[in-house]
Amino acid sequence: MLAYIVRRLLLIIPTLFGIMVINFVVIQVAPGGPVETLIARLRGDYVDPTARFAGGGEGGGEIREQQPQQAVRDREITSKYRGARGLDPEFIREIEQQFGFDKPMHIRFIEMMRNYVMFDFGTSYFRDRRVVDLVLDKMPVSITIGIWTTLFTYLIAIPLGIAKAVRDGSRFDVWTSAIVVIGNAIPEFLFAIFLIVVFAGGEYFNWFPLRGLHSEEFSQYGFWQCVASVRCAGDYFWHITLPIGAMVIGGYAGLTMLTKNSFMDEINKQYVVTARAKGLVDSRVLYGHVFRNAMLLVIAGFPGAFIGILFSGSLLIEVIFSLDGLGLLGFEAALNRDYSVMFASLYFFSLLGLGMRLVTDLTYTFIDPRIHFESAEV
């Protein structure tokens, strides 16, 4: 087992390097960049990228024009940056130097990876804060969404999958299969929009808030202070009902079918027939013999499912409901061309995801010691 773990850890290095190289090249050759974004801010043409989604601030105006007040205004300067016409070339070079764009692309990549290996993720281009601090500030929101979504998804999908396996071919199985197909076919963000229209004052009912995790009254409460307050805790659950509901509706289908198929495979095996022949009741056979073997795949996939929900599944949900988490942070960083936040987040979450894949494999051996990877090929 130790040899397998070492091989998997060593395999993470080239995999992570390949992920970073591909994304770095694609981002560098794509139109736009932090230089253009800063120029737009200086000219007053900048628009908050989340304003149209989350009702955020006004476009432009925050940073007034700061370009040099010289005769350069009367000249047309050819520049490779959009919106740089009329700006002093020396001023553009200072911006390039500020963002490191005065160096070749491969040098920038090597320096970036050298810093990332030491977990030095630098400072955000436009927030003037360390990337690590930004991630730590946003992580509690995403962890909250991930925990509750994973919990409710498993609480719904596992009992439903078991019931479908026991009643395979019945009307219950047919009707629930139709519901599962609908849940699997419709994206989470469409469910979110539907819930907003119906329950958040869109057209019909105004039962739930549209955005945020707390009302203004409880916005200054700390974590433990809110836990100790019944009203604050109730307000919190009131706010997360629609976001969690949208993610659970959009995510339970696959787990339900995995649970059903796992139980169906076990129910048809010889040891189940033998147990029934000995006179054991169905509930004893199902939960005393079948459950442990059938739940192997389901439980072992929990770490990977949680990470998937935490760092990818909640992106659009956070944008739609204005939840200030990692998804919204990454979305804003991509639109703002905040490369320091983009690549640092990509590096950290890719490393975490690859590590969780290994944890998922090791979970199999913890749940069922009969499984081992001593002779497995990586």
pLDDT tens for residues 175-209? 988 888 888 888 888 888 888 888 887 678 888 88
In this predicted structure, what is the pLDDT of residue 73?
A: 37
What is the overall mean pLDDT for the chain?
76
Output the CA angle 324-55-53, nearest 5 degrees.
Answer: 75
Average pLDDT over residues 75-100: 60
pLDDT score, position 75: 40
C-alpha 309/C-alpha 304 separation (Å) is: 9
The predicted-structure confidence for 96-137, as pLDDT tens digits, reads as follows 677 777 778 888 888 888 888 888 888 887 787 888 888 888
What three-state secondary structure class fits 223? helix
Q: Does 329 score more than 70 pLDDT?
A: yes
163 versus 61: which is more confidently predicted?
163
Confidence of residue 290 (pLDDT cuts 50, 70, 90): confident
Q: Rounded distance, CA 37 to CA 46, Å? A: 7
Residues 333-340 have a mean pLDDT of 82
Least confident among 91-105, 144-158, 330-344: 91-105
Q: What is the mean pLDDT of residues 155-159?
A: 88
What's the predicted TM-score (pTM) here? Answer: 0.72
For residue 313, the model assigns a pLDDT of 58
Put residue 212 in one of left, alpha, beta given phi > 0 → left and psi -120 to 50 → alpha: left
* Through-space distance between the first and last CA atoms of the chain, rounded to whole angstroms: 12
- Out of 43-57, 197-211, 353-367, least confident range: 43-57
Residue 18: the pLDDT is 92
Q: CB under 8 Å to 186, separation ≥6 — which residues?
A: 250
Least confident among 23-32, 131-140, 272-281, 367-376 = 367-376
CA-angle at 162, arms to 156 and 166, nearest 5°: 145
Q: Do residues 177 and 164 touch, judged by C-beta distance below 8 A?
A: yes
Paired residues of 123 in beta bridges: 130
Across 34-43, 274-283, 305-314, 336-345, the highest mean pLDDT is recorded for: 336-345
Give the pLDDT band (50/70/90) at residue 58: very low
Q: How far apart are CA 322 and CA 209, in angstroms?
A: 11
147 touches 155 (CB < 8 A): no
Per-position b or e across 230-248, b if 16+ CB within 10 A of its CB: eebeebbeebbbbbbbbbb
Return the DSSP state at 200. B
pLDDT at 259 over 80: yes
Give the per-residue pLDDT at 310. 66
Q: How confident is the model at residue 89 (pLDDT cuts 50, 70, 90)?
A: low
Amino acid 69: pLDDT: 42
Q: Which of 51-60, 156-165, 182-191, 354-363 has the weakest average pLDDT?
A: 51-60
pLDDT of residue 21: 92
Per-residue pLDDT, 373: 64
164 has pLDDT over 80: yes
Alpha-helical regions (H) of the chain: 2-29, 34-43, 51-54, 89-99, 105-117, 131-166, 171-185, 188-199, 223-228, 230-267, 270-277, 282-285, 291-300, 302-308, 315-320, 326-336, 339-367
Cβ-based neighbour number of residue 335 at 10 Å: 14
